[in-house]
């Protein structure tokens, strides 16, 4: 299935997965950009954004769990975030943390908060509509990980 065909399925979990990748890129880039401020609270939120980017990477690209040396506890925690509702909850928590970053001062981390919120809503809509989670083949879902083993 091509990327165009994946988007044509109107499955919100596909939209959520690709928005999650966009959120990962934003969290990483904006975390790096905001880490060089003189406000300790913004630095803390920037570090949390960078950590969130790494967690999203492992959530959205399941192939990495097979090829990266990680602990069994980390693998188990990431595998628990497999349903649409669990993903919506995980993104909701990450979005809430980034929304809290505007308390000390409004920064560009708001962009990451917006994308993480939209991603969480996409996964929530997929869960409400009863759509099964469908991983993008481009990102290592639907059998790509089994080809490596």
Q: Are 75 and 65 in contact (CB under 8 A)?
A: yes
> For the whole model, what pTM was predicted?
0.84
Q: Are 123 and 85 in contact (CB under 8 A)?
A: yes
Domain boundaries in the chain? 25-136
Scored b (16 or more CB within 10 A) or e, 113-147 reads bebbbbbbbbbbbbbeeebebbbbebbbbeebbee
CA distance 148 to 28: 28
Residue 103 CB neighbour total at 10 angstroms: 9
For every one of its 149 residues, what pLDDT tens digit does the chain have, with 9 covering 90 and above?
566 666 667 788 888 888 999 999 999 999 999 999 889 999 999 999 999 999 999 888 877 878 888 888 888 888 888 888 999 999 999 999 999 999 999 999 999 999 999 999 999 999 998 888 776 666 665 544 444 43
Structure token pair of residue 76: 């188990």
């Amino acid at each position: 299935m091509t990327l165009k065909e994946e988007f044509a399925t109107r499955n919100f979990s596909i939209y959520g997965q690709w928005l999650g990748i966009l959120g990962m890129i934003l969290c990483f880039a904006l975390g790096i950009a905001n880490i060089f401020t003189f406000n300790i609270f913004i630095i803390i939120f920037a570090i949390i954004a960078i950590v969130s980017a790494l967690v999203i990477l492992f959530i959205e690209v399941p192939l990495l769990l097979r090829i990266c040396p990680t602990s069994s506890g980390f693998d188990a925690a990431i595998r628990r975030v497999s349903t649409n509702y669990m993903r919506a909850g995980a993104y909701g928590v990450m979005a809430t943390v980034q929304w809290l970053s505007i308390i000390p001062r409004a920064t560009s981390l708001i962009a990451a908060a917006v994308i993480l919120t939209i991603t969480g809503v996409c996964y929530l809509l997929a869960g409400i509509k009863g759509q099964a989670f469908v991983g993008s083949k481009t990102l290592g879902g639907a059998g790509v990980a089994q080809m490596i083993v």
